[in-house]
Amino acid sequence: MLTVHHLNNSRSQRIIWLLEELGAQYEIKHYQRDAVTNLAPPELKAVSPLGKSPTITDGDLTLIESGAIIDYIVRKHGQGRLAPKPGTRAHELYLQWLHYAEGSAMLPLMINLYVMRLGEAAAPLKDRIDSEIDNHLGYIEAGLKGRDYLLEDGFTAADVQVSFVGEVARAFGRLEAFPNIAGWVARLHERPAFVASIEKGGPYNLA
């Protein structure tokens, strides 16, 4: 049985969502952040040495990293559904979005999260961080122009992967200038599988 090691208010929520979209069989093991530090509990290190979420186990296989997990689930538990046919132009664009989310787009948002705690000491970095966030949000905004989802043929697992970028940007109040992203995040959150994933995964402050 595939198990999602799910940390509250984390990227692992989108793994539950993907599994709901695919109608796959799975179970959830819940973990709670420390109330003071907001960090993952040490119990996650018993599953993976990094102690991070998402982590999945499937038989004797343990996988970390959202992109790798999503790719695995789509291939092994979704029979390729929610991904374009391999070898097509659409599939190459799909792979680009799948890797772009964590490889590029999330970095300035995460830096922003950390430097916010520094107060005035972060002032020298603010303009550069804001510029990078806007650069990446502008790229996603342009990618959504004239369409409901990232790929022209409709919803894919790439939307699941990139969704966290839009959610975090919205939580930071960054989407006023990016209406395509704002509308896309709202559409994603209206999907029945997303609603079901919140019911199973528990409260999610980024929804």
Average pLDDT rounded to a whole number, residues 53-59: 97
Domain ranges within the chain, ordered by starting residue? 2-82+193-201, 89-191
The per-residue pLDDT for 115 is: 82
Q: Is 7 exposed, middle or buried (0-12, 13-18, 19+ CB in 10 A)?
A: buried
Task: Give residue-wise pLDDT tens across range 63-81.
Answer: 999 999 999 999 999 999 9
Residue 145 has pLDDT above 80, yes or no: yes
Determine the 3-state secondary structure of 112 from DSSP: helix
Mean pLDDT of 186-205: 96
Work out the average pLDDT over 14-41. Answer: 95
**Does pLDDT of 28 surpass 70?**
yes
Can you give the pLDDT at residue 71?
Answer: 98
CATH topology identical between 2-82+193-201 and 89-191: no
Q: If you average pLDDT over every residue of the chain, what do you get?
A: 95
Q: pTM for this one?
A: 0.95
Residue 121 in this model has a pLDDT that exceeds 70: no
User: Coil, strand, or helix at residue 95?
Assistant: helix
Q: Are 188 and 163 in contact (CB under 8 A)?
A: yes
27 in Cβ contact with 76 (< 8 Å)? no
From the CA atom positions of the chain, what is the Rg in Å? 17
Classify domain 89-191 at the CATH topology level. Glutathione S-transferase Yfyf (Class Pi); Chain A, domain 2 (1.20.1050)
H or E element that contains 6: strand 2-7
CATH 3.40.50.410 fits 2-82+193-201, yes or no: no
pLDDT-derived band at 39, boundaries 50, 70, 90:
confident
User: What's the pLDDT at 123?
Assistant: 74
Confidence (pLDDT) at 122 = 63
CB-based contacts of 100: which residues, under 8 Å, 6+ apart? 162
Buried-state track 178-200, b at ≥16 Cβ within 10 A, e below 16: bebbbebbeebbebebbeebbeb
Nearest of 67, 72, 84, 48 to residue 165 by alpha carbon: 67
